[in-house]
Amino acid sequence: MSESEVDLAALLCSKLCHDLLSPVGAINNGLELLEDETDPEMRDRCLELLADSAKASANKLKYFRLAFGAAGGFGDHVDPAEAKGLVESLVGDDGKIILGWAVQTGTLPKKAVKILLNLSLIAREALVRGGKLDIGAEEGDEGVEVVVRAEGAKVVLDQSIRAALEGNIPDAELSARTAAAHMTRGLTLQNGGDLRVSPESGTELLLGAIVTG
């Protein structure tokens, strides 16, 4: 591995640790509360907190395993249903975000699924006040076309993440915040692929990729 690849891997690990800190910390807090709590109702509430936090941690790990990692449990192609389940866990079930799914039923190359998951994560984080997250993917003659659209009352794409997606950020200025976007661009551009980001509008974000190879 080159020095830049090692640095990118370290930054992705930093992002993973940052995103897991909250649910894992909640598990620790729940255990501390459970240890001292004697009221049955409060103990039940602590157990609910532990269950929710453990589920959130497991979902994040599954998501990052395929989005960032080698995902050794999968072959060269992945069933889109696997990706859909991961995105559903990302969106949550509180009704703040409505998921639209238009992905072909046949298997997709693992690289295309990784790009789909990373673009979905970026679009989800841009939905500051909730809204609609539409995801589409289909394999054609030129490769796999992936389209992710976020629409809501307030859609904000961090400018550093935009710069990383557009290839306008030097390797030396990468951070844990921008590492996933930088990796996504690199994966997409391999073998002549393409990645596009819509102009800033405040209410809509469109991310598109042609994944080849």
- Rounded to two decimals, the pTM is 0.88
Q: What is the CATH number of the domain that holds 81?
A: 3.30.565.10
Amino acid 1: pLDDT: 43
Amino acid 211: pLDDT: 96
Query: What Å distances lie between residue 88 and 10, 97, 169, CA to CA?
Result: 27, 10, 31
Tell me the pairing of strands 131-140 and 143-151: antiparallel
Q: Which domain holds residue 102?
A: 3-211
Q: Structural domain tally of the chain?
A: 1
| Residue found by looking up tokens 């710069």 in the block | 163
Over its length of 213 residues, how does the chain's per-residue pLDDT go in tens digits? Answer: 455 776 777 888 888 788 888 888 888 888 888 888 888 888 888 888 888 888 888 888 899 989 987 655 677 899 999 999 999 998 988 889 999 999 998 899 999 999 999 999 999 999 999 999 999 999 999 999 999 999 999 999 999 999 999 999 887 788 989 999 999 999 999 989 999 999 999 999 999 999 997
**195, 200, 120, 115: which is closest to 157 by C-alpha?**
200
Amino acid 3: pLDDT: 56
CB 14 within 8 A of CB 176: yes
**CA angle, residues 205, 210, 212, in degrees to nearest 5:** 155
Residue type, 37: E
Encoded tokens for 157: 């794409």
Tell me the pairing of strands 97-103 and 131-140: parallel
CB 184 within 8 A of CB 115: yes
**206, 207, 203: which is closest to 195 by C-alpha?**
207
